[in-house]
Structure 1
Amino acid sequence: MLKQRIITAVIMAALFLAAIFFLPYQALAALLGLIVLAGGWEWSRLAGWEHVGARLAFVIVLAAVLAGLYTLCGLGGAPSREQIQPVLGLGTLWWSFALLWVKGYPGSAALWSNRVMRSLIGLLVLAPAWAAAIYLLSFPRGGLLLIAMVVVVVAADVGAYFSGKSLGKHKMAPAVSPAKTWEGFWGGEICAALVGVGLWFFMPAQGAHISLLAVLAVVLATSVASVVGDLTVSMVKRESGTKDSGSLLPGHGGFLDRLDSLCGAAPVFTLGLVLAAW
């Protein structure tokens, strides 16, 4: 199982890097859109839609939302900060609400466990993250910044895993994810901070001086958001009685099982760079 998981991870990393470095902007936006729609297909089952027609309807609605964001935010050309900031702000605000629901679970399920609310949650999880990633690509060296965001999330995840495994005693959200501990969380934050130092040192902002403190604030907030994303999707999976969102990725489950942390991280990371005038 571990060998299969590693092989799949290596293949995904290679394909991701190849797409970043070799695909033009529009093609990369379309590819990321298809990945998000695949995640939407998986989410439709978590939302409780069993009939194929209902699941397709959810994916079509998600596609329409992505198309709307692409147009309204000017993502097809040179999007301005004024166009994208409301979407990034909404995405960040959503994760704040999601954190409250995670902490209140299972009691909070009374507020969101019906199919319509779970479908709305799916749109809020997936659509702002896609828009944030596409906008990030419009930055100077945007591909490298997208890679940096992924590295922050992976570093936090790896740090949390090993810290939690060796030191973990205090449960973070036992009703949602019993394996997650506060010791693991802080280990992940430390690893994310180290990545932040590297980001500040090796990728100075274009035309602006940004302090190390500002970069650390962005990456630490991103790391926290990635944990909230993971826990939120885990909460919905637990409520729907599902362990994995799918089985398309051997050793990893479905697309959502890989996207959950990134969906939380993307709006926060991008908004942080915008506010820091990167």
Structure 2
Amino acid sequence: MLRQRIITAVILAPLALLGLFGLDGAPFAVFTGGIVALGAWEWANLSGVSAGKARLLFPLTLVVLMLLAGMSDGLEARWPLYLAAMAWAINLRWVMRYPAASQEWRAIGVRLGVGALALLPTWFGLIQLKAGGAEWLLYVLLMVWAADIGAYFSGKRFGKRKLAPRVSPGKSWEGVYGGLVATGLLATGYALAGQADWLPLLVVTLGVTAVSVLGDLLESMFKRERKLKDSSQLLPGHGGIMDRIDSLTAAVPMFALLLPWILGGGA
């Protein structure tokens, strides 16, 4: 398993970095759209659609929605980001009240809708972050990685109080605090480097870090409901695309929404 993970990482990491930071404009939109489409293919299975042809319908529908939204309102449209903010507020209720509130989202159509409201704004957020400067796209990636690392070590050392035991028994409040400390240090470092004023960057970073945890929990809830360990086996040794971008589906649109406030232009 470890050998498989290393081989996959060695092959995919350079390709991901090249796509995210070596492409601009339409090629970048196509590259990130492809990642989102693969995530949608996995989400269809998480929603209960496992048959081959039927499973392809959701990613194809999402691609059409991306094209229509991009052509009608432009890739700088803000409404998908506001829509994501409302969707994640609802997702919070479902995650924290699982399984009591599960009857509200168990219908396949609702679960597909949840996926669309997670993935479509992520695509818009990635494009808008890249347009605002590659350093902010890099920042969001570093923020999610720092949160994961901080949560892992803090949770392993101090974890006692379970965050959402019925959704993800391994996560603890102490792990969340460790992730917040790690991303707070990242924000401080970025501010010292002159990228933005410290206070607005810190406030947004801590808020988005908290929301990114919800992205992880939401996918865990859907996998638990479907009795799946991974979203797919697309990435040998690493699971699926959604297993790698679940936190980003919450962090990217929320950070893109608040970036103008960080830069002093208002959201």
**TM-score where L is the length of structure 2:** 0.94
Is structure 2 residue 26 aligned with structure 1 residue 26? yes
Select the residue among 232, 235, 238 that pairs with 2:218: 232
Is structure 2 residue 191 aligned with structure 1 residue 200? yes
Cα deviation for residue 10 of structure 1 reads 4.7
Which residue in 2 is equivalent to 1:256? 242
Q: Distance in 1 between matches of 2:192 and 2:82?
A: 27
Q: Distance in 2 between matches of 1:10 and 1:214?
A: 36
* Partner deviation per Cα, 1:103-123 (whole Å, 9 max, x = no partner): 000111100011111111110
Please give the residue correspondences for 1:30-49 in structure 2 after superposition, counting only pairs within 5 Å: 30-49=30-49
Select the residue among 150, 157, 174 that pairs with 1:183: 174
Q: Distance in 2 between matches of 1:23 and 1:217?
A: 30
Is structure 2 residue 75 aligned with structure 1 residue 89? no
Structure 2: unaligned runs, 5 residues or longer: none
Which residue in 2 is equivalent to 1:214? 200
Cα deviation for residue 11 of structure 1 reads 4.0
Which residue in 1 is equivalent to 2:161? 170
Between 1:185-194 and 1:87-96, the stretch displaced more is: 87-96
Is structure 2 residue 263 aligned with structure 1 residue 272? no
Shift of the 26–151 alpha-carbon distance from structure 1 to 2, 3 Å rule, reads same
Corresponding letter in the other structure for 2:233: S
Select the residue among 110, 114, 128 that pairs with 2:121: 128
Q: Distance in 1 between matches of 2:192 and 2:3?
A: 34
Shift of the 74–120 alpha-carbon distance from structure 1 to 2, 3 Å rule, reads same
Q: Distance in 2 between matches of 1:9 and 1:218?
A: 30
Q: Distance in 1 between matches of 2:198 and 2:11?
A: 33
Cα deviation for residue 73 of structure 1 reads 3.4
What do you get for the CA RMSD once the two structures are aligned? 1.6
Cα deviation for residue 14 of structure 1 reads 2.4
Is structure 2 residue 99 aligned with structure 1 residue 109? no
Q: Distance in 1 between matches of 2:262 and 2:142?
A: 20
* Partner deviation per Cα, 1:58-114 (whole Å, 9 max, x = no partner): 112111111123223312xxx3xxx32x22111122111111110000111100011
Corresponding letter in the other structure for 1:237: K
